[in-house]
Amino acid sequence: MKIGLYFGSFNPIHIGHLIIASHVLNQTDLQQVWFVVSPQNPFKPASSLLNEYHRLHLVQLAVEDDIRLRASDIEFKLPKPSYTIDTLIYLKEKYPQHSFEIIMGSDSFQNLPKWKNASLLISDYTFTVYNRPGFTINNNAGAKLRILDAPLLTISATHVRDNIKAGKTIRYLVPEKVREYIEANHYYQ
């Protein structure tokens, strides 16, 4: 099976993430997208994140009705902070029958040369990159790219969290099950 790996903090997952995943599946030969919940991104302070198991559960709620999407806790089993290359090596060993691609926005792609073992990532994996406004795709490193123009919303996890802190609704920004769970558990307040 060809699987796209969509890495992120998903703090929390929102409609924009799901639209990207669905669009990638509709426009490519990938058969599934796995949302790889990163317990600790090396580029983000851990103190700003909701507990990883809570974030994973929110992703599970968001994708449970779509067999093409899956929540993955694979990075929970690996050393922190999470590095993409370590996760990919582990997945390759655990699931040799699958092939994996990396899904990311053009904003993240521009930082790829700063990633741990970037040259190995570039030589061994394909990147499905969706355009984000203001971030042109410069492929000086020679990565294997599949470039998509995805439908983009200016929704961010920060915007969702800010709405919660301000006592505003997050209805329609996140799946309804996710909204209900966040509100019932008083997350991000």
62-74 pLDDT per residue, tens: 999 999 999 999 9
Task: Specify the 3-state DSSP secondary structure of 146.
Answer: strand
Pairing verdict, β 2-8 and 32-37? parallel
In the predicted model, is pLDDT for residue 93 greater than 90? yes
Looking at residue 152, its pLDDT comes to 81
Confidence of residue 43 (pLDDT cuts 50, 70, 90): low
Looking at residue 45, its pLDDT comes to 67
Looking at residue 46, its pLDDT comes to 66
The continuous run of DSSP H or E covering 171 comes out as: none
Contact 38, 54 (CB under 8 A): no
Confidence of residue 42 (pLDDT cuts 50, 70, 90): low
Contact 96, 114 (CB under 8 A): no
pLDDT tens per residue, range 21-31: 999 999 999 99
In the predicted model, is pLDDT for residue 47 greater than 80? no
Query: Is 181 or 114 the better-scoring residue by pLDDT?
Result: 181
Between helix 52-63 and helix 15-27 the angle, nearest 10°, is: 50
- Which residues are 127's β-sheet partners? 102, 145
**Which residues in 152-188 are b (16+ Cβ under 10 Å) and which e?**
eeebebeebbebbeeeeebeebbbeebbebbeeeebb
What percent of the chain shows pLDDT beyond 90?
86
Cα–Cα distances in angstroms (integers) from residue 152 to residues 20, 67, 103, 116, in the given order: 8, 23, 15, 28
What's the rounded Cα separation, in Å, for the pair 154 and 10? 15
What's the rounded Cα separation, in Å, for the pair 91 and 71? 14
Which of 27-36, 38-47, 138-147, 151-160 tops mean pLDDT? Answer: 27-36
What percent of the chain shows pLDDT beyond 70?
97
Looking at residue 153, its pLDDT comes to 84
